[in-house]
Structure 1
Amino acid sequence: KPKCLLRHFSSSGFWGLVNNAGISTFGETGWLSMEKYEKFTDVNLLGSIRTTLAFLPLLRKYKGRIVFMSSIIAYFALGNGIYSMTKAAIEKFCDALRLEMKKFGVQVSIIQPGNYARSTKIQPPVSAEEIWNELSEEEKAVYNKEYVQERANFFNNILSEGSPNGNEVVDAMVDALMSPAPKARYMVARLKEKALVLVCALFPTAVMDFFLSYALSKVKLT
């Protein structure tokens, strides 16, 4: 079930909704089953949409706030394209909703955390052996164990570097709910993560592809 943080003020009715549904996993596109794509879309995207639609009448009535949990990974993918896909989709849903709700006095904000894997535990460490055992015979014919192990090590290293200060994200959520002038987007990330997002936004896609491809893997498919 989608998780949401609801704030209720008896003097002003229903005030705010925070959509915080989120699950994550690791794997290249062909490694993941269609069932996983459906599950991730259902939780990360449709879960937030269902909750929003259910409370929209009250939020319009009381000129409330709606907050969505996105991620900087909406701008690029590093071994978890399935998660990136759902976060990019929720960003576009929020962009449309924010403009539509202005005429009702409803504020819509997006929280874009960087790497907080150590504090949220959203993604457990990756086991290369488990990944390999779950691959179809077709995928095993394309990839080798060394490649899978290298990718797993790369992703696990990212997880280990995650910030343990999850309160920074909570502070942004509170500001989005309580500030007289909430931001449309709150990017809660380290400087190098913000720089990476900036490069994604300003540089040609070919430039970003070059750096990310180099970072992702040096192991050849032989």
Structure 2
Amino acid sequence: MWLLCMVALVGLYHLVRWHRERQVVSQLRDKYVFITGCDSGFGNLLARQLDLRGLRVLAACLTEKGAEQLRDQTSDRLETVILDVTKSESIAEATQWVKELVGDRGLWGLVNNAGVSMPTAPNEWLARQDFMKIIDVNLLGVIEVTLSLLPLLRKAKGRVVNVSSVLGRIAIFGGGYSISKYGVEAFSDTLRREISTFGVKVTMIEPGYFKTPLTSSENLSENFRKAWEKARPEVKDVYGEKFLNSCIKTINQQAKYYNEDLSLVTDCMEHALTSCYPRTRYSAGWDAKFIYLPLSYMPTFLVDTMASWRYPRPAKAL
């Protein structure tokens, strides 16, 4: 009897949730959405996807080439701007540009998508500037862009969508990537509580492993070799070149299984921007839902074992 009641309650919960999440915000064609990192990958696809949906997309690209290609693939509603999220003056100029376009309507959506993933390698191979290169884009850039646009978001009672990662829940590799994504999680949590009283909603997207230009096996392998080349001689001696080659082999094998369907991520972003009741977190990809999310709740010794079993041991490890 109790089991049937529990099943019924769970079923009712999911039915109510499904009904709430199907309710869409009205007058989408009048709403402006600002997206960073639109040259390629998730940002590029989301800009095209929202443009087809009829929203007024303000796409920030790092290069003029990326902006031009995006304009060629979209309608006249979409506007582009050049933005480097590591430079305060670039952010200030983009903020003023957005302010002039949206006027009194304010900004409905901000998608902090711009990000980098390399250099990634064992921490001991890297220097301070290697960590800062990633943190500048993935964390400090997110913070400064968000703070600059908050007045416009408050005016529209809009949405902030921050792209985190499954590696913002559980760190597998060394380097600044997981550090930056853990920071995005913390910033999003505190921001959500602070600005909810203004009617602004904050959402995090936590994708698993997806195949993008940044995560190609060639780029990952080259990144690993460059980190090795810059490592101190005594560090190379401790790890050994066999360790390097084995790691690159493992990386290339894993890259074959990265998900190619980027719409799994952009659909989550679109829902966060257009649903009346967006989720606080979205896990995109089967690996995010069924591997990394459960792992993040497991005991440390199990996580350490499962995270390291496929990787080789350094030459002078005990």
8 Å CA contact 1:131–1:148 kept in 2: the answer is no
8 Å CA contact 2:134–2:180 kept in 1: the answer is yes
8 Å CA contact 2:206–2:284 kept in 1: the answer is yes
Counterpart position of 1:43: 137
Counterpart position of 1:121: 213
| Amino acid of the structure 1 residue aligned with 2:298 | F
Q: Give the CA deviation at 1:9.
A: 6.7
Counterpart position of 2:284: 188
Counterpart position of 1:160: 256
Q: 1:3 aligns with which of 13, 37, 50?
A: 37
Spell out structure 1 runs of 4+ moving beyond 4 A: 4-11
Q: Which moved more, 1:167-176 or 1:80-89?
A: 80-89
Whose relative contact order is higher, 1 or 2, with alpha carbons under 8 Å and at least 6 apart?
Answer: 1
Give me the TM-score of the superposition, normalised by structure 2. 0.63
Counterpart position of 1:52: 146
CA separation of 1:203 and 1:129: change in aligned 2, threshold 3 A: closer
Q: Give the CA deviation at 1:80.
A: 4.3
8 Å CA contact 2:105–2:155 kept in 1: the answer is no
Work out which of the two has the higher radius of gyration on C-alpha atoms and give 1 or 2. Answer: 2
Counterpart position of 1:205: 300
Where structure 1 has 5 or more consecutive residues not aligned to the other structure, the ranges are none
| Count of aligned pairs between the two proteins | 218
8 Å CA contact 1:98–1:108 kept in 2: the answer is yes
CA separation of 1:61 and 1:126: change in aligned 2, threshold 3 A: same
RMSD of the alignment, in Å?
2.2
Q: Which moved more, 1:66-75 or 1:158-167?
A: 158-167
The DSSP-based 3-state class of the residue aligned with 1:215 is coil
CA separation of 1:21 and 1:109: change in aligned 2, threshold 3 A: same
Q: 2:267 aligns with which of 162, 165, 171?
A: 171
| CA displacement, residues 173-212 of structure 1 (integer Å, 9 cap, x when unaligned) | 111111110110010011x442222433332111111121
Asked if 1:216 is matched to 2:311, the reply is: yes
Supply the distance in 1 between the matched residues of 2:107 and 2:165 (Cα, whole angstroms): 26
Q: Give the CA deviation at 1:63.
A: 0.4
Asked if 1:72 is matched to 2:106, the reply is: no
Supply the distance in 2 between the matched residues of 1:129 and 1:104 (Cα, whole angstroms): 48
The DSSP-based 3-state class of the residue aligned with 2:220 is coil
Supply the distance in 2 between the matched residues of 1:155 and 1:145 (Cα, whole angstroms): 15
Alignment of 1:72-91 (within 5 A): 72-91=166-185
Where structure 2 has 5 or more consecutive residues not aligned to the other structure, the ranges are 1-35, 39-46, 48-56, 59-100
Supply the distance in 2 between the matched residues of 1:196 and 1:220 (Cα, whole angstroms): 30
Q: Give the CA deviation at 1:75.
A: 2.0
Asked if 1:16 is matched to 2:109, the reply is: yes
Supply the distance in 2 between the matched residues of 1:132 and 1:42 (Cα, whole angstroms): 22
